[in-house]
Structure 1
Amino acid sequence: MSKRWTFLFLIGLIVTLCSITILNKPTEKDFTLWLQEEYTIDCNKDCSIIELESGNGNITERIKLANGNGAFSPGLFTLHINRHYISLNDPNRIFSLEAIGFNGRFYKMNSENRIEKYGLLENRE
């Protein structure tokens, strides 16, 4: 009888943890807030156009970027966002932003041509 109760307790614990994780899955609105807090990026409603500051010495310029292509993958537990932005000022400059959301938080993913590589952002970790 002891093994049965242990098994039922473990199943109940797993179901509870899965339910909490599913309910805490971040949304696109959370992604927008994360961009503003982490990188001070302003974006429109769906972040198809973002605006960020680029510091060149003492001069700060505003750069607008338009969404070229990318992926939005809502999973059961996670939200994976991979976007490629093309600069409106210089179409030859392409920036990538990849993040995964899990349990109410977003984490940046390592990619070769992240926005930080171009010196446009400084991560505030």
Structure 2
Amino acid sequence: MKKKRYILFVMAGILLVVVTGIFMSKPNEKNFVQWFEKEFDVNCLDTDFDCSSLEIGGKTYNHTDGYYDSSTGFLAMAMQIKRLYRNANDPDEFFSIEAKGFLGDFKKIEFIQNKVDIR
């Protein structure tokens, strides 16, 4: 009986450590910005790591619409983000990106371009 209790206690402890580690590596907006700059070769102009303004090929684009959902996935350990960027001088020139992040890594779900040439 004592041995069974001890094994259950150890298993619960291991499970707690694993879940805590996963929660600590949950992606955030800073991780998204780093992935976005690397994956699409864009240059974020703001320094607060939310990439509300960026530059592509000498043109400036501003974040105008989108959502940030951090309660996506198993036990809310993932995030999903969608953003719309418009050219500062020509609002008809825009692109939209939707990505999902889990364990600090992101993958593109959807990418739409209108008059913008991004990789």
- Write the deviation string for residues 65-97 of structure 1: whole angstroms up to 9, x where unpaired: 111110012233122211011122321123111
Query: Is the CA contact 1:81–1:99 (under 8 Å) kept in the aligned structure 2?
Result: yes
1:66 is aligned to 62
CA distance in 1, matches of 2:25, 2:79: 11
Extract structure 1 runs of 4+ deviating beyond 3 A.
Answer: 1-14
TM-score by length of 1: 0.70
Q: TM-score w.r.t. structure 2 length? A: 0.73
1:24: Cα distance to partner?
0.5
Relative to structure 1, the CA distance from residue 107 to residue 70 in structure 2 (aligned partners, 3 Å threshold; closer, same or farther) is same
Distance 2:56 2:6 in 1: 55
Matched residue pairs, number?
A: 111
User: How many Å apart are 1:103 and its aligned residue?
Assistant: 0.7
- The amino acid across from 2:63 in the alignment is N
Asked whether the equivalents of residues 82 and 99 of structure 2 are also in contact (C-alpha less than 8 Å), the reply is yes
Moved more, 27-36 or 5-14: 5-14
* Cα distance between partner residues in 2 of 1:74 and 1:32: 15
Unaligned runs of 5+ in 2: none
What is the Cα-based RMSD across aligned positions, in Å? 2.5
Match of residue 94 from structure 2 = 94
SS at match of 1:107: strand
Sequence identity percentage: 29
User: 1:22 Cα shift?
Assistant: 0.5
Q: Secondary structure at the match of 2:96?
A: strand
Q: Which amino acid aligns with 2:51?
A: C
**Equivalent position of 2:22 in the other structure:** 21
